[in-house]
Amino acid sequence: EAQVTQNPRYLITVTGKKLTVTCSQNMNHEYMSWYRQDPGLGLRQIYYSMNVEVTDKGDVPEGYKVSRKEKRNFPLILESPSPNQTSLYFCASSSRRTGSGTQYFGPGTRLLVL
Amino acid sequence: AQSVTQLDSQVPVFEEAPVELRCNYSSSVSVYLFWYVQYPNQGLQLLLKYLSGSTLVKGINGFEAEFNKSQTSFHLRKPSVHISDTAEYFCAATSGTYKYIFGTGTRLKVLA
């Protein structure tokens, strides 16, 4: 089944404790992206990747890191999480090299930073 | 800078009634426009998209949207809603780069 998977689905952590949220897709998509969803703000793009080893900042990259060493994986790293990073995170992938492709979203990771 | 505005944060509507969810975008260049739906506790899935060509776009589950360049709008419509349409709907735009801008979402509540 074609899908985007994220792990973990739920995470509670404390300020400053490094964490990684994994994202994997099995559709051979070149493009992958991370979003955060907050009430009243919709989805905001954190980082995106056009292909292996090619990444760029979205609208809210502060406090996050990403890497794209393999085509199927695009982990999101929070090196020193803070309470304002409490949010619902989505990973997405797309096959089009331009921005016109349909994005396929993962199920989301709900993060609480105490 | 590109922006997407969804004018209504919540829209209640009775079952079998028509509904329109509004979306306006701002951009100085051509855009690709999307509507996504998010059911409770799930990720987003594509309803429909406008890339070029016919301004009336038909999507899944009986939804359609009309691209209006002069009014910079891309409103979503359905002639008769069902209880199962209760969800949050997001309008999104991209100018062909890899940066996507989403609206703040509209919660559609279908009442029996």
Is-contact A23 A13, C-beta < 8 A? no
A34 and chain B in contact, CB less than 8 A = no
pLDDT for residue B61 is more than 90:
yes
Which letter, b or e, does each residue of A68-101 get, where b requires 16 or more Cβ atoms within 10 Å of its Cβ? beeebebbbebeebeeebbbebbbbbbebeebbb
Question: What is the per-residue pLDDT across B10-46, written as a single tens digit (0 to 9) for each?
Answer: 999 999 999 999 999 987 666 889 999 999 888 899 9
Tell me the per-residue pLDDT of A23-80, one tens digit each, with 9 for 90 and over.
Answer: 999 999 999 999 999 998 999 999 999 989 999 999 999 999 999 999 999 999 999 9
Contact residues for B5 (Cβ-Cβ < 8 A; gap 6+): B23, B24, B25, B26, B103
- A99 and B103 within 8 Å at the Cβ level: the answer is no
With CB atoms and an 8 Å threshold, state whether A99 touches B98: yes
Nearest-CA residue of chain B relative to A32?
B98
